[in-house]
Amino acid sequence: MNIVIVYSHPSQNSYTYQILEQLKKALLQKAWSVEVSDLYAMNFKSDMTEQEYDREAFAKVDLPVAHDVLEEHKKIQRADCIIFLYPVWWSDCPAKLKGWFDRVYTVGFAYKQSGRLPGMKIVKYGVALCTAGYPNDVLKEMGIAQSMETVMLDDRFGKRFEHKEMIILGGTLNPAELKQSHTDQISELVRKIERLNW
Ligand SMILES: Cc1cc2nc3c(=O)[nH]c(=O)nc-3n(C[C@H](O)[C@H](O)[C@H](O)COP(=O)(O)O)c2cc1C
């Protein structure tokens, strides 16, 4: 089993980093292969160049795809499961991760170019795993949990993933109260990955 974690947080002193460590430990205990794209540590470039814009906007598929983007494509093609782990910032993922979608989801790979199917495989399981300051019930009352789910699962994951879900680890402003519940949700996620019919 090959798991890719696309991780987006700038600080190792963060709660999100603690979740990353916990998640990696639990996945490695199953003897699965775990590959992490640590976007800040890699200094992943999140803004498009003019040439990249031209390629995407006008489907100029003969223009080259950047090396760092091709490396991400290879990770996707190797993955059975991709987990996007990030903090909620202004009701979405950090700009660094948004830029990953902008640049990595190239035309011809993640979406169709006329008359041809996209090259990206259908990944068995996709998970958007995010930490959030607001508790989950507040995010639901505000409609933000639903909007984040629509954008991540319906649009960014779309039909590119066979199974998909969003897990919001909310209430991180009072982590002591919710830490156990978050730990349990990570364990449950690992069990779910194990239970999928591979
Ligand atoms: C720039 C910024 C924007 C944030 N926006 C939101 C938000 O829109 N909704 C929310 O629930 N929490 C928000 N938070 C809180 C983070 O989601 C929370 O700090 C994070 O999930 C867990 O903390 P960590 O940074 O220690 O990993 C924001 C935090 C920062 C730094």
The alpha carbon of 164 and the centre of ligand 1 are apart by a number of angstroms equal to 23
The alpha carbon of 193 and the centre of ligand 1 are apart by a number of angstroms equal to 27
HEC string for 103-126? HHCCECCCECECCECCCCCCEEEE
The count of C-alpha atoms lying within 13 angstroms of the C-alpha of 10, restricted to the half-sphere facing its C-beta, is 5
The two tokens of residue 192 are 């779910």
The residues spanned by each domain of the chain are 2-195
- Could you read off the pLDDT of 116-145 as tens digits, one per residue? 677 899 999 999 999 999 999 999 999 999
Paired sense of beta strands 81-87 and 33-38, if any: unpaired
Q: Report, as an integer, the average pLDDT of 157-182.
A: 93
Do 198 and 125 contact (CB within 8 A), yes or no?
no
- Could you read off the pLDDT of 27-45 as tens digits, one per residue? 999 999 999 999 999 999 9
Q: Is the pLDDT of residue 19 over 80?
A: yes
Q: pTM of the predicted model, to two decimals?
A: 0.97
Q: Report, as an integer, the average pLDDT of 102-111.
A: 95
CB 15 less than 6 A from any atom of ligand 1: yes
Q: Which fold has domain 2-195?
A: Rossmann fold (3.40.50)
Residue 8 burial (CB < 10 Å; 0-12/13-18/19+)?
buried
Do 169 and 130 contact (CB within 8 A), yes or no?
yes
pLDDT score at 175: 76
CB 37 less than 6 A from any atom of ligand 1: no
